[in-house]
């Protein structure tokens, strides 16, 4: 009798251990690896990341948690080691951060362009101009200009245009710095019948949704080219980051599959919002 009880208890113990291990393995498999991506607001506002990330996550089993902020803030998040990878659009700032040792494995991913939008009746008379700097000179002192004022890639581009125009807008009554993302800046410009610089992807994605009574008044200046890049946080500086998984994400973005996913992302009118250009 005692031997039967002993045998039963032994088998029961074995089953408990086996099932516990199996449950743990199942749980580990069910919960995907997660990485954190600090990215510019334009990739989020446009809907691009909502479109392409599920494709990557299904293929790799890696969940990408996005923190959408201005490019300057995204780079700072990466510098602190509070993200594993960054996807932004200020190439000079990106390359400088790589030279400083904060990031590695930087690649061009895609591009679109910036446009100047404003009231359809165009009180500053910039429609038809070919130079963004000339347009800014027309707007200055005559009409309100809304700036993101947040050290984003768009803000950096805007400041470079003012510099080329030979003007310092800071402190002028016609210059409003809002310290907000692109979606909010567009809405403020719309409310105030002002001009602003925006990326084409965010403009196309939100102009109907936000009922913006604005129009693209200047486009096509080569200075308005808008390159996006991706780079991994340097694990030598921040050993805790998930570099291997971040590199898988980077490799996918620049692969044919990732580039095709970017190319296939369009707005409801069939406009392609980003052009892949990884090499």
Q: For the chain, which domains are there?
A: 30-111+227-276 (3.40.190.10), 113-224 (3.40.190.10)
Map residue 1 onto helix, strand or coil.
coil
Q: Where are the beta strands (DSSP E) in the chain?
A: 33-40, 62-69, 85-88, 103-118, 145-147, 175-177, 195-199, 215-218, 225-233, 275-276
Give the Cα separation of 197 and 193 in Å (integer): 14
The residue written with tokens 């001009």 in the block is: 195
Distance CA 205, CA 240 (A): 36
Low-confidence ranges of the chain (pLDDT < 50): 1, 6, 8-10, 12-13, 16-20, 22-29
Q: For residue 141, what pLDDT is reported?
A: 81
DSSP annotation of 266: B
Q: Strand 195-199 to strand 225-233: parallel, antiparallel, or no bridges (unpaired)?
A: unpaired
Buried b (16+ CB within 10 A) or exposed e, 140-173: beebbbbbbbbbbbbbbbbbebbeebebebeeee
Per DSSP, the residues of 131-174 read: -HHHHHHHHTTTS-EEE--SS-HHHHHHHHHHHHHT---TT-TT
- Tell which residue, 199, 213, 215, has the closest CA to residue 126: 215
User: What local confidence, expressed as pLDDT, does residue 177 receive?
Assistant: 98
Angle between helix 132-139 and 153-165 (nearest 10): 80
pLDDT of res. 2: 54
Q: Give me 156's structure tokens.
A: 């950096």
State the Cα–Cα distance between residues 227 and 204, nearest whole angstrom. Answer: 17
Q: pTM of the full predicted structure?
A: 0.84
**Confidence (pLDDT) at 279:** 86
For residue 262, what pLDDT is reported?
A: 98
DSSP 8-state code for residue 42: H
Give the strand pairing for 275-276 and 103-118.
antiparallel
For 179, the token pair is 């310290």
């Amino acid at each position: 009798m005692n031997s039967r009880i002993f045998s039963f208890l032994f088998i029961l113990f074995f089953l408990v251990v086996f099932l516990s291990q199996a449950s743990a393995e199942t749980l580990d498999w069910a919960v995907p690896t997660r990485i954190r991506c600090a990215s510019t607001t334009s990739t989020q506002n446009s809907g691009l990341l909502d479109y392409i990330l599920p494709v990557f996550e299904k293929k790799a089993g890696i969940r990408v948690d996005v923190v959408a902020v201005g490019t300057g803030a995204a780079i700072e998040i990466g510098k602190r080691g509070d993200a594993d990878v960054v996807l932004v659009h200020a190439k000079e700032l990106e390359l400088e951060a790589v030279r400083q040792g904060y990031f590695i494995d930087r690649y061009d991913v895609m591009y679109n362009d910036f446009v100047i939008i404003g009231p359809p009746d165009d009180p500053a008379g910039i429609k038809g101009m070919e130079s963004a700097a000339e347009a800014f000179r027309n707007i200055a002192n005559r009409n309100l200009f809304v700036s993101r004022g947040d050290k984003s890639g768009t803000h950096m581009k805007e400041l470079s245009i003012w510099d080329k125009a030979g003007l310092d807008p800071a402190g002028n009554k016609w210059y409003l710095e809002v310290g907000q993302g692109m979606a909010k800046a567009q809405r403020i410009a719309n409310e105030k019948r002002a001009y602003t610089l925006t990326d084409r992807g965010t403009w196309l994605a939100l102009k109907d949704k936000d009922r913006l009574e604005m129009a693209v008044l200047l486009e096509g200046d080569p200075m308005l080219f808008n390159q996006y890049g991706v780079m991994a946080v340097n694990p030598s500086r921040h050993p805790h980051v998930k570099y291997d998984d971040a590199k898988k994400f980077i490799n996918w973005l620049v692969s044919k599959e990732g580039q095709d996913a970017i190319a296939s992302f369009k707005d409801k009118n069939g406009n392609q919002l980003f052009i892949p250009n990884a090499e």
